[in-house]
Every structure is written in structure tokens, then in C-alpha cells.
């Protein structure tokens, strides 16, 4: 059966050009980067070249870029460091963060008695800037603000500069989970008021199991993982050599093609939204589809019926891959914490469709046709 993959916010297929640069480091260039002989020196050079490439693309210093296993480790490191190294005793977050943030802040709140506040959400799912200011102004302790740049389920985009400037005003530490936006938008970190951001290679056609943590040079933190002296004593463990090389190549390709791909993908998303409205009565969209929104994500509300309750299952039977929310919890029965936080309507079923450069209008048409049959 032909399969249609509309779950690119969960993961993306590896680009062949990325695989090609990784392969030599899986075979003949296999040295441990910590070794002093030639095998080690060539792999150490590959890692540092990748770091410089990533730093240049994000307009950061190479010393501010640390390679990790992915977004979850990077978020954990940043949040823990803010509490343990930077004097933050009050965390301000939101109910719609990724679980890598939600579970980390809840753990610190319950185990280390750190105060935790959630900023109010507006009707369209954006955070309420007036309430954020109120929380910061009213806090007696130094705050960590951890708010994601783009929501992985509904696609809402945070005004990262406005939040960063607010944090600066109140001497708060700002971490933004940018897993859905690194590799999808240009960054200028020298001119962005943020202390920590993170990225994951597999969200933009790079390898799984590799990510970055950006730590602003004015911030000094201690490692989350103890052991060896890798990553300038910041992240112990033998480096994921071919993953790092692949991450840098994937980011380079995504940056070169940003204008072309972002327009193509957004046109596809809006075409699907239009087709669904035309052909399926009673649907709606979760999040700020026509406003500040991630161009890869379309979150659709279908009226709840006996047929739509089995919608994801029926799509899968028909070879269509989509998500009920976050892929990290797609096997759970609890439904999406994001949709629960922004919607009071229990009579709708939310499905996330997310797109990449590999998708086509013909695929959209096929999916809409199948949805009409199923519903």
C-alpha cells in the first residue's frame, strides 16, 4: 500500500545528502575524538567544523553551541542549570509546553520546592503577555521563564524577542524550546535576548539522537551529565560523531533552501485547510492558523461521532500517517494536554497533520478524499 506521511512534526526522513556526509564517519573515519593520534584528530576536527557551521548559521559563537542527544536532554540541562547555577527559585512556564519541559519543571517544583506558575493562555492558544509581566513583576525570587518558540501540536509561534526583552527587564533567565523552529526559521542569536535554546536534528531531515543546546556566553553553568571531559567539560560521554556531522549538514541544507521550502510547505498547509473546509462540514482549526503560526503544522478539529472517534486508526489502515497530538504520547489514551488546555469543547477530535518539502498537493487531495469516506 502507498503510504502518505503527514507527521513531520514528530520526525522527518533523513536526507540522502545528509546520509552521504555521515557514512564515512560510520566506516573508515571511526576514531574516538578524544584520542590523540590521527584517527582521533580527524574526528575531533569534524566535530569542531560542525560546531562552527552550526554557530555561523545561528549567528552564535562556537563556544555557545553544545552537542547533545536531542531536545529533551537540552531542555533538561537548561532548566536544571537555571535552578542549580543561576539562582532561579520561581519557574514561569505554560500548560502547553512539550513534556520534556512540563515534566522537568514539575519535578523541580515537587522535589526541590521551586515555585511554579503557569502563564495564562489566550483563546487562540498564545500566552498572555500581560499576565507574564504580572508574574515577573510580582515575583520575590529570581525567575526562570521557559516557553516554547513554536508549539509542536497547534503550531502557535511565541514572540521570542518580546518575551526575551520582558525577561531582561526583570532580570529573569529565559529558556525557549526551539525544537520545532531550529532548521525551519533563520535565527540571529547574537541579537536575540535568550539564554538557552535547543534543537533536534531529526526535525529537519537530519539524524535522530543528536541535538544542540545553545548557552549564552554570559551564562556559566555546570553539566547535567557527569563523566568525561567531552564538549568542553559540559557533556560527558563519547560524542555522537556521525550524528553531529549529519546535524550540521541538515541545518546547512535547511538554511540554504529556507525561502523555497517554507513557502512551498505553507502553501500546502493552507491548501489542505481550504480543502477540508470545502469538503468536510463542521471542522475547525486549533491554534492561530491565520496568525503567528508554524508553517509546518495544521491541527484540525473534527466533530466527534462514532466514525471520527476511530479516525487515526482508520487513517492508518488507509496508509495515512498523522498524529492525535504530540507523537511522544500518541500511544496514550489521555489525549492531548495541549488541546485540553486551549479547548473546552469535548465534542471534537483533534488531529495534527504536519508537512515537509517531500509532501505534495496530490497527497493532500488523497487524504481529503479518504477523510470524506471515513467521516
Instruction: Give the model confidence (pLDDT) of 63-79 as tens digits.
Output: 999 999 999 999 999 99
- Three-class secondary structure of residue 5 per DSSP: strand
Domains of the chain, by residue range, sit at 4-12+258-374, 16-256
What is residue 309's predicted lDDT score, i.e. its pLDDT? 81
170 close to 137: Cβ distance less than 8 angstroms: yes
Non-local CB neighbours of 321 within 8 Å, separated by 6+ positions? 3, 4, 5, 6, 7, 315
CA distance 235 to 110: 26
What is residue 93's predicted lDDT score, i.e. its pLDDT? 98
58 close to 194: Cβ distance less than 8 angstroms: no
Report the sign of the C-alpha dihedral through residues 257, 259, 260, 264, in that order: positive
CA–centroid distance for 268 within its chain: 21
CA distance 287 to 232: 40
Pairing of strands 211-215, 65-68: antiparallel
Can you read off the three cell numbers belonging to residue 243?
550524528
Query: Which fold does the domain 16-256 belong to in CATH?
Result: 3.40.640
What is residue 345's predicted lDDT score, i.e. its pLDDT? 73
Non-local CB neighbours of 299 within 8 Å, separated by 6+ positions? 153, 154, 155, 285, 286, 287, 339, 350, 351, 352, 353
CA distance 262 to 284: 23
Non-local CB neighbours of 59 within 8 Å, separated by 6+ positions? 187, 188, 189, 190, 191
Non-local CB neighbours of 292 within 8 Å, separated by 6+ positions? 126, 156, 157, 159
- Among this protein's residues, is 167 annotated catalytic? no
What is residue 334's predicted lDDT score, i.e. its pLDDT? 58
Phi and psi torsions of 152, nearest 5°: -70, -15
* Residue 227 DSSP label: S
User: Considering only CA atoms, which of 273, 275, 276, 277 is closest in space to residue 287?
Assistant: 273
Report the sign of the C-alpha dihedral through residues 335, 337, 339, 342, in that order: positive
349 close to 311: Cβ distance less than 8 angstroms: yes
What is residue 335's predicted lDDT score, i.e. its pLDDT? 76
| Residue tagged active-site, from 88, 143, 321, 328 | 328
Report H helices in the chain: 16-26, 38-58, 71-84, 99-112, 129-138, 160-169, 230-233, 241-256, 258-279, 311-317, 337-342, 361-374
Phi and psi torsions of 219, nearest 5°: -110, 130
- Three-class secondary structure of residue 132 per DSSP: helix
What is residue 325's predicted lDDT score, i.e. its pLDDT? 53
Can you read off the three cell numbers belonging to residue 333?
489514551
What is residue 234's predicted lDDT score, i.e. its pLDDT? 95
pLDDT tens digits, one per residue of 214-272: 999 999 999 999 999 999 999 999 999 999 999 999 999 999 999 999 999 999 999 99
Report the sign of the C-alpha dihedral through residues 188, 197, 201, 182, in that order: negative
Over the chain (375 residues), the average pLDDT of each successive run of 10 is 95 98 97 96 98 98 98 98 98 97 98 97 96 98 98 98 98 98 98 98 98 97 94 96 98 98 98 97 95 98 85 94 66 73 82 98 98 92
Can you spell out the DSSP letters for 267-302? HHHHHHHHHHHHHSTT-EE-S-TTSSB-TTEEEEEE
Query: Which fold does the domain 4-12+258-374 belong to in CATH?
Result: 3.90.1150
Amino acid at each position: 500500500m502507498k503510504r502518505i506521511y503527514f507527521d513531520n512534526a514528530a520526525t522527518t526522513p533523513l536526507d540522502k545528502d545528509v546520509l552521504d556526509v555521515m557514512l564515512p564517519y560510520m566506516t573508515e573515519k571511526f576514531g574516538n575524538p578524544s584520542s590523540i593520534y590521527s584517527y582521533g584528530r580527524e574526528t575531533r576536527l569534524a566535530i569542531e567544523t560542525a560546531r562552527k557551521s552550526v554557530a555561523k548559521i545561528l549567528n552564535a559563537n562556537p563556544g555557545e553551541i553544545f552537542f547533545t542527544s536531542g531536545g529533551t536532554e537540552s531542555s533538561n540541562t537548561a532548566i536544571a542549570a537555571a535552578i542549580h547555577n543561576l539562582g532561579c527559585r520561581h519557574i514561569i512556564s505554560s500548560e502547553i509546553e512539550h513534556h520534556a519541559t512540563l515534566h522537568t519543571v514539575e519535578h523541580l517544583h515537587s522535589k526541590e520546592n521551586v515555585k511554579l506558575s503557569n502563564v495564562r493562555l489566550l483563546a487562540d492558544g498564545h500566552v498572555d503577555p500581560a499576565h507574564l509581566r504580572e508574574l515577573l513583576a510580582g515575583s520575590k525570587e529570581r525567575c526562570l521563564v521557559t516557553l516554547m518558540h513554536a508549539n509542536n501540536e497547534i503550531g502557535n509561534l511565541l514572540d521570542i524577542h518580546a518575551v526575551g526583552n520582558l525577561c531582561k527587564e526583570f532580570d529573569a533567565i529565559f529558556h525557549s524550546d526551539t525544537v520545532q523552529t531550529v532548521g525551519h526559521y533563520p535565527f540571529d542569536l547574537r541579537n536575540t535576548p535568550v539564554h538557552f535554546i535547543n534543537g533536534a536534528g531529526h526535525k529537519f531531515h537530519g539524524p535522530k539522537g543528536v541535538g544542540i543546546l545553545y548557552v549564552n556566553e554570559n551564562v556559566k553553568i555546570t553539566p547535567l551529565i557527569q563523566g568525561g571531559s567531552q564538549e568542553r567539560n559540559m557533556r560527558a560521554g563519547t560524542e555522537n560523531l556521525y550524528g553531529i556531522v549529519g546535524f550540521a549538514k541538515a541545518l546547512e541544507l535547511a538554511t540554504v533552501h529556507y525561502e523555497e521550502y517554507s513557502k512551498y510547505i505553507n502553501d500546502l498547509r493552507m491548501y489542505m485547510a481550504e480543502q477540508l473546509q470545502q469538503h468536510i462540514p463542521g471542522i475547525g482549526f486549533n491554534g492561530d492558523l491565520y496568525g503567528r503560526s508554524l508553517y509546518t503544522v495544521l491541527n484540525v478539529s473534527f466533530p466527534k461521532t462514532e466514525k471520527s472517534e476511530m479516525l487515526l486508526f482508520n487513517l492508518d489502515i488507509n496508509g495515512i500517517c498523522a498524529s492525535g497530538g504530540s507523537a511522544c504520547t500518541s500511544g496514550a489514551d489521555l489525549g492531548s494536554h495541549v488541546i485540553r488546555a486551549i479547548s473546552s469543547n469535548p465534542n471534537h477530535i483533534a488531529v495534527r497533520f504536519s508537512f515537509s518539502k517531500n509532501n505534495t498537493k496530490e497527497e493532500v487531495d488523497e487524504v481529503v478524499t479518504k477523510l470524506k469516506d471515513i467521516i
